[in-house]
Amino acid sequence: MALLSTPLRSVDDYVRHFSGQDLPVLRRTRRELEALRASADTVNGKRIAAAVLGDPLMTMRLLTHLEQHRGKSQNHDITTIDRAIMMMGVMPFFDTFADLHTVEDVLQSHPKALIGVLKVIANARRAADYARDWAVVRHDIDPNEITVAALLREATEIVCWVFAPELTLRVYEMQHADRTLRSAVAQQAVFGTTADEIQLGLIRAWRLPELLVHLLDETENGNPRVRTVKLAADFARHLAHGWDDAALPEDIAELEDLLRLPREPLLQRLGIPGEQRGRFLQAPAAD
């Protein structure tokens, strides 16, 4: 795998480089899939799906594989992992995704980048869990679609950590030195473009299902499904800093509006520690 150490000239160059690489997966994912393959005669699709959904990189690999090998008879998009595995079949799935490279191997000489990407993946998994729960509260037509979209929302940042570890670390060092520096500004300074711009190109290159593309489109923030995905990602990222993060009260106010839950039951559902609960009980003053 070719890791970038210097910036490329354009967004298209980044998209070509990143989309031309085989995505690695987490080491734990490879081990889980190997263990499941050993009992392939008795394992069901839901157990495989759970292993896939624990890893946004494996989720991306599966969805992009299906789109790249889409048969003429497939007249609809596959937007959930359960359906993707059902479409492939258990043994073809295991045969297709044997001998996977791992993130840990790719970044073995970049330990700081490995820590960075594992943190982003942990946030993505947390966001997916929140998004699923909130979709259930909202009686969403398919919470599994919301789960996948939330898991993939930070896909480009994950890919940058894996394939451009030195550049991505430079972005984080700039932000660490200046806490007021916005991510897009730091990314522009280092990469010459932003993660959002790269993501738009990667979504087209990966040919993700149209519904997932729509759910990842922040310009559709009036749509409650899109709001669920965005808010779950924001909430998980802010919560990674601790319950005293300054952005959390605004997140919870927006969540209260989205879910139409009273404040106290909402705080209980979020598992906010008792000593922190008083800070969030009072709704923000109206503008």
d(Cα 25, Cα 38) in Å, to the nearest integer? 19
Q: Rounded to two decimals, what is the model's pTM?
A: 0.91
Task: Give how far the C-alpha of residue 94 lies from the chain's centroid of Cα atoms, to the nearest Å.
Answer: 23
pLDDT recorded at residue 254:
95
Residue 26: per-residue pLDDT: 97
Write the burial class of residue 101 (CB in 10 Å: 0-12 exposed, 13-18 middle, 19+ buried). Answer: middle
| Reported CATH class of domain 104-273 | mainly alpha
Name the residue ranges covered by the structural domains of the chain.
23-102, 104-273
Q: Which residues pair with 25 in a beta bridge?
A: 102
What are the phi and psi torsion angles at 197 (to 5°)? Answer: -65, -40
- Spell out, as residue ranges, where the chain has pLDDT lower than 50: 285-287
Q: pLDDT tens, 184-234?
A: 999 999 999 999 899 888 988 888 888 888 888 877 888 999 999 999 999
What pLDDT, on the 0 to 100 scale, is given for residue 75?
56
Please give the Cα distance from 173 to 72 (Å, whole number). Answer: 48
